[in-house]
Structure 1
Amino acid sequence: MDTSDLRMPVRLLAASIACALTHTSHAGVYVQCPGDINGDAVIDNPDPNHPRAVCKHLAAGDGFIRMGDDIEKLQYIFGFSDVTGVPSDQVIDTGLLAANFPAPTISLREGDEFYLTLTNVALAIRPDLFDPHSVHFHGFPNAASVFDGVPEGSIAVNQGESLTYYYNIVEPGTFIYHCHVEAAEHMQMGMLGNLYVHPSQDGTSKTYDGKTYTKFVYNDGDGSTGYDVEFPLQLGSFDPVFHDLHLQIQPLPFANMKDTYPMINGRGYPDTVNPAQLPTPIDPETGESANNGNQSQKVSSLVTASAGQRILLRISNLNVTNFYTVAALGLPMTVVGTGAHILRGPTGKTLYYDTSSITLGGGEAVDVLIDTRGIAPGTYFLYTTNLNYLSNNTEDYGGMMTEIVIN
């Protein structure tokens, strides 16, 4: 089936939505952010009543990414894009065909008040769908149910509308976020992102094992979770048949999902080690950008450090089909946290453990420290030991693998 005629011109879709908003009193782009005077989610005059306010604006829409085996092989996705700083009257146009995979990284600090506005800009490629979207802050300990993102107990955002989520950030750790509307579909389609919270202990100096740190994974009290550099690594994969059938407006094979494009941060090796944003995907039929010029794969998985530094890997799995095991060949791995909690018992006993591999199911996250003291400089591989996932679909020597470069 030729789907090229299904792609409504972006400007036409934006004009249609803008017209609809003009005649619908309850719909429209609306940002709530203390100290923001012009509705772009940027704090202009800090509000003394909210000194730790942090604001961000995400657009939910669709787009394309390219795959590691063939730059002409595109996958249709749903996703989020960062429209923070964009005037409210330009958000719909800016957010169309701008979906990122993974979603924009969110980094916070314990004690922040986080105002996250979500605007549903509609699906430019599937205008026949009217899917609402939400943000589920996965593992967040005190989310009000109305802001939890699960449709049965909270608000979902319809097309052309906005909702500002409010979170009082009280615990550090590695979290994740995703859309929870029709979760199996929307997560398979790419609405997944990295999210982590730095502890209030950051900025203090603590010496552990002969080295002084100022950055920590948790409020450990003794510096044992100190690190020098950090990298979020989101494990995931796509079923190309599912994505192709979605684009072709055909019944979706939920019961037969078989992911054959394994990825880290939305890329398969060797694209994982490209430190730059990948170029905008090109439609092989037209030779033009499939994303209206927008880049969709912005997060590199290349890990770099200087010899002697301690590396923090925030590893998560938001896949809806598979468990994955990853190993760092030749490097010592110490797990200090799981599920956004420090590994300590109820009496304070430290339960960190050394390992050669990490296994994660969907919705799990771990905090892994790699101490490079005494490690020879060079290039090491972080890869899945599920060897069938070291491939980009049918092409071997790719997939869920990246490099750790110690200079």
Structure 2
Amino acid sequence: MVSYPQLLMEDQIGAPGSGISRRDFVKASGLGGTVALAGCTAPGEVPTEESVDTSTTPAESDSDLPTTSPPEIVNVDEQGGEVTLSSVPAKHEAHPGGSMGGPVELPKVWAFKADDGEPSVPGPILRTTEGEDMEVTFDNTDGMRPHTVHFHAVQKQWEDDGVPTTTGIRIDPGQKHTYTIPANVTGTHLYHCHYQTHRHIDMGMYGIFRVDPKGYEPADKEYFMTLKEWDSRLNRQMAGMDASYDPRNRRPDTFTVNGKSAPRTLHPEDGSPIIVEQGDTVRIHMCNNGYMDHPMHIHNHRFQVTHKDGGKIPEAARHDQDITSIPPAGRHTIEFEADADPGIYLAHCHKVSHAMNGTAYPGGMITGVVYKEAMDTDIFKQLMDYAGYEA
């Protein structure tokens, strides 16, 4: 069994991964007080992917849709190699506050959830170990639309590829289906719905799964970072609002890291700050679940890209850099030492239009490297105000 720390969401501060405890955060920040918690189609019947029905149903139009939560890390090994996913109509607040061009909201998403967990965008991070099999059941019993689940990188049986037009398997409303996903390619990979892919990913049906190599040694701090751009016309159209979306004329207007737009990305519970201490070795698994390249730049640090798309880069081929461009569906793992003057440093997409909320700059695809030593400062408290953090 891998010995990396399994952090429960209720105990974790920072991006998904090895953050610090809520108690340590409050102590370090000097904020004090009590933290305010914010079946399938028969194989012989090859299904088609007709023009999507963009109408909403009364249930989907319900104004009482749940609000998404931050993605949780699910250790599938500890669950006997089994996990059940489902999709839940929800509303998604990328930045609910009024600062920096907010609020930024997607009024309708189709959020993955694992087992009895909370729906999230991106979906839960599924973590397993090399040599194991994951039995992933997609339960569409209470669903309203067909879906599938496709896993990148790993080699699996034809019927488990998750593409309805080539496998003959589509999970219709009222049905469920189990995929066998072997953990035979180590690294950080993606999963997503592969039915009407161009719409279902943009409705939030995407996530990360991680295959740790045997004997995996975690860094001092390890985080997952999922990048995504959105054309909110689709989400507004599916919410029954006056909007019209054309996938051939896609115009992204919302840019997120782990589902949030700056400054909400710096929120210690709802966002994804990279919290470090002086001298830490930091490992970040960056994944691009969007359809555009995102050149990610970290201020005041030099890093090395150690893995791309699950493949290890030989040490002789690595070099120090401060920006790496991640293509659609690409995954880059970077490592660096937290050796800068302890402070707060941006990590952001260097396409400036992606670092905006509407016409407001800064915003969008920005998060930050936050040194624990810098939390008890006035500028950090100001950033927490922008992010909407109450303590």
TM-score normalised by length of structure 1: 0.68
- Match of 2:282, as an amino acid? I
Structure 1's 51 and 182: CA in aligned 2 closer, same or farther, altered over 3 A? closer
Matches within 5 A, 1:171-190: 171-190=185-204
Aligned to 1:314: 285
Decide whether aligned partners of structure 1 residues 42 and 72 sit closer, same or farther in structure 2, where only a CA change above 3 A counts: closer
CA positional deviation for 1:276 = 1.5
Q: 2:272: which partner in 1? A: 301
Query: 1:196: Cα distance to partner?
Result: 1.2
Select the residue among 96, 103, 122 that pairs with 2:123.
103
Q: Percent identity?
A: 21
CA contact (8 A) 2:301 2:336 kept: yes
Choose the corresponding residue for 2:317, options 351, 354, 358.
Answer: 351
Moved more, 390-399 or 177-186: 390-399
Q: Distance in 1 between matches of 2:311 and 2:79?
A: 23
Aligned partner (choices 80, 83, 89) of residue 115 of structure 2:
83
Higher relative contact order (CA 8 A, sep 6+): 2
Q: 1:56 to 1:245 in 2, by over 3 A?
A: same
Compute the TM-score of the two structures, normalised by the length of structure 2.
0.71
What secondary structure is seen at the aligned counterpart in 2 of 1:103? coil
Any conservation in 2 of the 1:67–1:392 contact (CA below 8 Å)?
A: no
User: Matched residues in 2 for 1:246 and 1:51: separation?
Assistant: 37
From 117, 134, 148, the equivalent of 2:137 is 117
Residue among 46, 64, 70 paired with 2:91? 64
Amino acid at match of 1:309: D
- Is the CA contact 2:299–2:347 (under 8 Å) kept in the aligned structure 1? yes
Q: Summarize deviations over 1:208-232 as a string: whole Å, max 9, x none.
A: xxxxxx43xxxxxxxxxxx222111
Over 3 Å counting, the alpha-carbon distance change for 1:104 and 1:377 in structure 2 is same
Offset at residue 251 of structure 1 (A):
5.5
Name the counterpart of 1:234. 226
How far apart, in 2, do the equivalents of 1:131 and 1:4 lie? 11
Q: Give yes or no for the alignment of 1:393 onto 2:364.
A: no
* Compared CA separation, residues 228 and 67, structure 1 to 2 (3 A): closer
Q: What amino acid maps onto 1:259 in structure 2?
A: P
Match of 1:270 in 2: 263
Structure 1 gap segments, 5+ residues each: 11-40, 44-49, 86-97, 124-129, 203-213, 216-226, 278-299
Partner SS, residue 248 of structure 2: helix
Structure 1 or 2, whichever has the larger Rg, is 1
Alignment deviations for residues 373-401 of structure 1 (CA, whole Å, 9 cap, x no partner): x4222211101110111112233211000
Distance in 1 between residues matched to 2:56 and 2:140, nearest whole Å: 23
User: SS of the counterpart of 1:405?
Assistant: strand
- Provide, for residues 18-53 of structure 1, a one-character-per-residue CA deviation record: whole Å limited to 9, x for no partner: xxxxxxxxxxxxxxxxxxxxxxx999xxxxxx9994
User: Which residue does 1:257 correspond to in 2?
Assistant: 250
Counterpart of 1:208? none
SS of 1:252's equivalent?
coil
Paired AA for residue 382 in structure 1: A
| Amino acid paired to 1:180 | H
Q: State how far apart, in whole Å, the 1-side matches of 2:362 and 2:78 are.
A: 50
User: What CA RMSD, in Å, does the superposition of the two structures yield over aligned residues?
Assistant: 2.9
Query: Cα distance 1:71–1:115, how it changes in 2: closer, same or farther (>3 A)?
Result: same
1:381 partnered with 2:323: no
Distance 1:253 1:334, change over 3 A: same
What is the identity, as a one-letter code, of the residue corresponding to 1:57? Answer: T
Cα deviation 1:34-88 (Å, max 9, x = unaligned):
xxxxxxx999xxxxxx999411111123211023244484431122112258xxx
Question: Which deviates further from its counterpart, 111-120 or 178-187?
Answer: 111-120
Q: Is 1:62–1:79's contact at 8 Å kept on the other side of the alignment?
A: yes
Does structure 2 retain, via aligned residues, the 8 Å contact 1:336–1:351?
no
Aligned to 2:329: 363
Q: Answer whether contact 2:106 2:236 (CA < 8 A) is retained.
A: no
CA contact (8 A) 1:173 1:340 kept: yes
In structure 1, C-alpha distance between the alignment counterparts of 2:60 and 2:165, rounded to whole Å: 32
Shift of residue 9 of structure 1? 8.3
Please tell me whether residue 195 in structure 1 is matched to residue 209 in structure 2.
yes
How many residues matched? 302
Alignment of 1:147 with 2:160, yes or no, is yes
Task: Describe the shift of the 1:383–1:9 C-alpha distance in structure 2 as closer, same or farther (beyond 3 A).
Answer: closer
Instruction: Report the CA distance between 1:151 and its aligned residue.
Output: 1.4
